[in-house]
Amino acid sequence: MIRDPRVLDDEVVPDHELILHRRDEMEALLSALRPRMNARDHVFAFGPTGTGKSTLARLALTLLEEDGEAFDATVVNCWKFPTRSDVLRAIASDLVSVTVNTRSTPTADLTSKLHDEPDRPRIVILDEADQLADTDVLYDLHRAPSLAVLYIGNDEDDLFAGMADRVRSRVATGRRIDFERYSTDELSEILEARADHAFRSGAISMRQLEAIASAADGDARTAIRALKLAAENATENGHLRVSDADVEAAIPHAREQLRQKSLSQLTSEQRLVYDIIRDNGPISPADIYERYTSAVNDPKTKRTVRSYLSKMRHYNLVEPHGPRNSRTYTSL
DNA sequence: ATTCCACCGGAATAGCGGGATA
DNA sequence: TATCCCGCTATTCCGGTGGAAT
């Protein structure tokens, strides 16, 4: 049934023709990122998960290249590389040909290399930029010549909070592109286009695509993942068409997979705190800490657990409810 | 209006570990 | 091998916030 699984893989950047309902955003990205020597552009893409920010950004690089533009580019996922030195190392190996396999190369070496005049314009895409632990790196990037930076994030406030004033005033003047949630109709058309490429014709009905689109709540990543899972499930059962039961199971399955992906990023102590919330929620911070201390030999401090909670909120794994003095947490 | 309470998160710093260097 | 150096995690300290109690 599945002819081309690549258009259902969220790691693979799809062809331009599969990008629907994002014409304005695509134009804005292309003109903002188009490489120019001596430019120091800062561009922001904000919007909820699954609205195409990251995909369009990657596609923009491909299109600029096909357009004959000469430039160097790198994409840094700030979830995986949240610290200043993480980001600089990732950039250094891609953009300034410094081999950095070690964690003991001084950061100063990296910044000074970055500040050398390059022979081609450069583009850095910071994906999940609101996960940056240390926004000073934005200052480093701003001072680098012929370097355009695209920040991708969910929330403007998350990115600008904790940004030192000297950084904010220089960086925050950049162009800003907002990504809205897809409507159910838009999402249905996106799924239809993907299904046309991925499946033999007639494998899934328009009504089933609409059901997935409606359940995905504007999130194309969840929707496309669910489409993939529905088809895989049908294939495993030896069916030639996706059944309604396959569709029914696919959405929660897709959500679960995406959550497992986030959970795998946690340390074992953080995971323990998550399990306490999942098994006992809604639960107050004081009770979370009490259970946590009795569960481990050498408990971390309250402040550290607060940082864990903060991190898990960012990952959309837990959610606080109520005012501060009667706060409870639940797992999502 | 003022104080109290529980929680929140920024800033500075210590301790640790791992690669680099001699 | 011993020491150095750097960055990372956790800790310490503390001011802030919003609702509740007085």
Is A271's CB less than 7 Å from nucleic acid strand B? no
In angstroms, the CA of A9 and the C1' of C5 are apart by 43
In angstroms, the CA of A125 and the C1' of C15 are apart by 36
Q: Is the pTM of this model over 0.75?
A: yes
What is the structure's pLDDT at A167? 65
Q: How far apart are CA A252 and CA A189, in angstroms?
A: 21
Is A286's CB less than 7 Å from nucleic acid strand B? yes
Residue A96 DSSP code: S
Q: Are strands A328-331 and A318-321 parallel, antiparallel or unpaired?
A: antiparallel
In angstroms, the CA of A183 and the C1' of C8 are apart by 42
Q: Which of the nucleotides in strand B have any atom less than 7 Å away from a protein CB atom?
A: 5-11, 17-20
Show the low-confidence residues of chain A (pLDDT under 70): 96-106, 108, 157-158, 161-172
Q: Which of the nucleotides in strand C have any atom less than 7 Å away from a protein CB atom?
A: 5-14, 16-20
Largest separation between any pair of C-alpha atoms in chain A: 62
What is the structure's pLDDT at A288? 95
In angstroms, the CA of A102 and the C1' of C5 are apart by 13
What is the structure's pLDDT at A157? 67
What is the structure's pLDDT at A230? 93
In angstroms, the CA of A176 and the C1' of C8 are apart by 33
The two tokens of residue A326 are: 């009667």
What is the structure's pLDDT at A99? 57
In angstroms, the CA of A108 and the C1' of B22 are apart by 22
What is the structure's pLDDT at A182? 95
What is the structure's pLDDT at A253? 93
What is the structure's pLDDT at A190? 95
Is A269's CB less than 7 Å from nucleic acid strand C? yes
Buried b or exposed e, range A53-76, using 16+ CB within 10 angstroms: bbbbbbbbbebbeeeebebbbbbb
pLDDT digits (tens, 9 = 90+) for A229-245: 999 999 888 888 888 99
What is the structure's pLDDT at A324? 86
Q: How far apart are CA A41 and CA A95, in angstroms?
A: 17
Question: For residue A177, what are the β-bridge partners?
Answer: A45
Is A327's CB less than 7 Å from nucleic acid strand B? yes
